[in-house]
Amino acid sequence: MIRIFILDDHSVVREGLKRIIEESPDLKVMAEAADGAEALRVLSKTEVDLVITDLSVPGISGVELISRMKALRQKTPILVLTIHPEDQFGLRILKAGASGYLTKESAPRMLLRAIQKILAGGKFISETLAEQIALQLDNVDKLPHEKLSDREFSVLCMFGMGKTVSEVASELGLSVKTVSTYKARIMQKMQIKTTAQLIRYTIMNNLV
């Protein structure tokens, strides 16, 4: 029996995914969570064979969440199932350790196929994401946010959601001074002068 863990902050979505998954007799949803912190607690004490997670959940989310999940369960594959477009998050999420990236508009049609491929040791990406990866290999020009480290990118997205320095520090387990340093570095790298411009950039580029 393949044990699956689902993270999504909408109970209706979790129930829908559970029904689709358990149509296969060898798949069983063993655990669920509604936010990032709860997910990490569950994973720290529960053995599962696959994680299916959204990116935008309360608390720890996005690239930071994927990185922490992999730190807890290095050998457990992660399938990201999200509303966010592949061209904004796909490549960075794969680099953070995810084994697949699927948009919610393509489920349930592709979900079981993605699960099977990942459990067989493969990676699951769409043709769109594969093309994006190929283009990025050939293209040296990067958008400003693509020049950021994974931690800087996570901080950028959190500020883009309107969170304060103190809130970001609390969620990431960092000091306020450290987060302020990250913010200053982000704004310097992206040549952004104000917090309002930073928030506007994340919205215009579909990062939040």
Does 96 lie in the same domain as 27? yes
Does 86 lie in the same domain as 15? yes
Does 150 lie in the same domain as 66? no
pLDDT at 133: 65
pLDDT at 135: 63
Tell me the CATH number at 164: 1.10.10.10
pLDDT (tens digit per residue) in 54-109: 988 988 888 889 999 999 999 999 999 988 877 777 788 888 899 999 888 876 77
Report the pLDDT averaged over residues 100-128.
85
In this predicted structure, which of 34-38, 139-143, 144-148, 187-191 has the lowest mean pLDDT? 139-143
Number of structural domains, the chain? 2
DSSP letter assigned to residue 124: B
Residues 73, 110, 18, 121, CA torsion sign: negative
Tell me the CATH number at 63: 3.40.50.2300
Neighbours of 3 (CB within 10 A): 15
Does 163 lie in the same domain as 79? no
Does 121 lie in the same domain as 39? yes
Does 74 lie in the same domain as 57? yes
Chain-centre distance for alpha carbon 87: 13
Neighbours of 130 (CB within 10 A): 13
Residue in the structure block whose two tokens are 């509303």: 83
Does 59 lie in the same domain as 23? yes
| CA torsion angle 42 47 52 57 (round to 10) | 10
Does 151 lie in the same domain as 121? no
| Residue 200 domain boundaries | 144-204
Q: What share of the chain is helix, strand, coil (3-state, %, to 5)?
A: 55, 15, 30
Q: How many CA atoms lie within 13 A of 62 on its CB side?
A: 24
